[in-house]
Amino acid sequence: MAPIAETEKVTLMEAFERIAAGDATAGFCVPPFDTSAMDGFAVKSADFSDAASLKNGLKLDIIGELAAGATLKFHVTSGKAVKIMTGAPLPEGADAILMKELCEETKTENEWHLKTVSPIRAGQHVRTVGTDFKKGDVIIPRGSFLNPAAIGLLASAAIAEILVYKTPVVAVLSTGDELIDPLEPAAREKGFVPGPGKIMNSNLYLLASLLRSSGARPHLLGMAKDTPEGISRKILEGSGAADIIITTGGASVGSYDYIPEALKLAGFEVNIWKMNMKPGRPFIFGIKNENQRMKMVFGLPGNPASSMVSFLKIIRPVIYKLCGRAAPLETLRVKGAINSEVRLDPERLTFLRARIYEDGGRTMIDVPKKQDSNILSSALRLNCLAEIPSGKGTLPEGSEVFAQII
């Protein structure tokens, strides 16, 4: 699967959290000139080479002053210094900056000089031209996620506009006769509680937010009742608006699990998988070529925690790839000690919604007790998925496991 081919030019302020669609190359060096890194005096380091005379105090005449942004020209010769501020260009002849705090400055009507006993080495407190990047350097390679540093880099290289990939649209559909949309007028009335047998459609909004945080734009298809025809109609609507459609619910093998049937009705080739993971065992994948475009449907389980974990483990890398990210499969896994005992699943690898933290230099993983797939509250403070291998019995408190940082 290729990233979406479409690109667009955006300005610096719109580029944040987008993906670069081309290499950004520097048109000049940064820093553009040798710069003082301190407030002090630009000097010749050779004047400091005689340790004995330095011990008695070295006296240098000050010939002028340079502030940041100054364009004045000075030539520093032996025995001379130029007063200089952080960010000002290093004057010709000087090769080091003596910090203001290390000398005594005297200024009278007819005399301006400094005295110091401090040694100095060539290059001290000087920022050399091009040490951040050089003219012609690729400062942001194609496929980079444009984080705050990237935006700063572009600004420092005077790149006001950048080519980025267009944000992919992903359609989302919730299925289930029991669902009520939290945005529908009746649900927004004061004191509302769901009627008998009903629950709120949390998945739609959960997934829409997961998509947004992954760099995609959600297209909400809303809800469909548990009928193959109704679901199929919504899927067709979704494939008109997006190349990827995510559905929730109806993906297991229960009597009202109509996703496979609905997909077939909509002309998709259907794969029904059982993932060896907990939560998120059922997973349906539908694929169809529609007017030379590949349309894909990911059918997730209805329980919110299952759909969240399935999304993070399986769908997010696909979205990253679609967004044009250079390393869609890159994840960070670290080892930490679980802070309570965990029951093992005899067959499946379990992903626990967890929080990794540091305690006195030790990496710990807080694993909330409530891990049933219908429970979302324990995911509120989630910053990782702890990976619990399958096995018999329990894993004792303090055991080291991997956790994938989310």
Footprint of Mg ion on 96-135 (CB under 5 A): none
Is the CB of residue 47 less than 8 Å from the CB of residue 79?
yes
Q: Which does 201 bind (CB under 5 to 8 A by kind): ligand AMP, Mg ion, none?
A: ligand AMP
Instruction: Give the residue with the Cβ less far from Mg ion, 47 or 226.
Output: 226
Q: Which does 46 bind (CB under 5 to 8 A by kind): ligand AMP, Mg ion, none?
A: none
Is residue 248 close enough to count as binding ligand AMP by CB under 6 A? Answer: yes
377/368 Cα distance (integer angstroms): 10
What residue 301 binds from ligand AMP, Mg ion, none (CB within 5 to 8 A, per partner kind)?
A: ligand AMP
Closest CA to 228 of 265, 254, 201: 265
Asked if residues 356 and 334 have their Cβ atoms less than 8 Å apart, the reply is yes
Q: Which of 168, 238, 249, 328 binds Mg ion (CB under 5 A)?
A: 249
The residues in 322-361 that bind ligand AMP, with binding defined as CB under 6 A, are: none
Applying CB under 5 A, the span of 126-134, 158-166, 276-284, 296-304 interacting with Mg ion comes to: 296-304
> Could you give the CA distance from residue 14 to residue 322 in angstroms, rounded to a whole number?
19
Of 96-104, 165-173, 195-203, 362-370, which segment contacts ligand AMP by CB under 6 A? 195-203
The reply to whether 202 sits near ligand AMP by the rule CB under 6 A is yes
Of residues 249 and 324, the one with the C-beta less far from Mg ion: 249
Q: Which is nearer to ligand AMP, 146 or 284 (CB)?
A: 284
- In a 13 Å sphere around the CA of 147, the CA atoms on its Cβ side amount to 5
Q: How many residues does the chain have?
A: 406
Please state the closest distance from residue 285 (CB atom) to ligand AMP, in A. 16
199 contributes a contact to ligand AMP by CB under 6 A: yes
In angstroms, the Cα distances linking 271 to 28, 284, 315, 318, 340 are 53, 6, 15, 17, 38
Cβ neighbours, 10 Å, residue 263? 27
**Where does this chain touch ligand AMP (CB under 6 A) — which range of 43-51, 86-94, 135-143, 251-259?**
251-259
Nearer to Mg ion, 251 or 319 (CB): 251
Report in angstroms how near the CB of residue 347 gets to ligand AMP at its nearest: 20
Cα angle: 72, vertex 76, 78; to 5 degrees: 165
Least separation, in Å, of the C-beta of 231 and ligand AMP?
11
**CA–CA separation, 144 and 363 (whole Å):** 29
CB of 362 to ligand AMP, least distance (A): 37
Which residue(s) pair with 337 in the sheet? 364, 400
Q: Are strands 7-11 and 35-36 parallel, antiparallel or unpaired?
A: unpaired
Closest contact distance (angstroms) between CB of 258 and ligand AMP is: 9
Q: How far is CA 33 from CA 13, 71, 91, 130, in A?
A: 27, 12, 10, 8
Region of 91-99, 127-135, 140-148, 194-202 interacting with ligand AMP (CB under 6 A):
194-202
Q: Is residue 176 a contact point for ligand AMP (CB under 6 A)? A: yes
Prior bond to 282 cis, omega within 30? no
250 touches ligand AMP by CB under 6 A: yes
Q: Which of residues 39-98 bind Mg ion (CB under 5 A)?
A: none
68 to each of 63, 71, 103, how far by Cα in Å?
A: 17, 9, 21
What contacts 251, CB < 8 A, 6 or more positions away? Answer: 257, 259, 282, 283, 284, 299, 300, 301, 302
179 binds ligand AMP (CB under 6 A): yes
Per-residue mark of binding to ligand AMP, 254-273 (x: CB under 6 A)? x-------------------
Q: Is 260 in the site for Mg ion (CB under 5 A)?
A: no
The vertex-167 CA angle with 161 and 173, nearest 5°, equals: 165
Residue 232 binds ligand AMP (CB under 6 A): no
Nearest distance, CB of residue 295 and ligand AMP, angstroms: 22
Q: Write the CB contacts of 302 (distance below 8 Å, at least 6 apart in sequence).
A: 175, 176, 203, 248, 249, 250, 251
In angstroms, the CA 381 to CA 362 distance is 19
For ligand AMP, give the closer residue by CB, 96 or 223.
223
Instruction: Kindly tell me which residue out of 124, 201, 239, 350 binds ligand AMP, with binding defined by CB under 6 A.
Output: 201
Where does this chain bind Mg ion (CB under 5 A)?
176, 249-250, 302
Where does this chain bind ligand AMP (CB under 6 A)?
174, 176, 178-179, 199, 201-204, 248-252, 254, 301-304
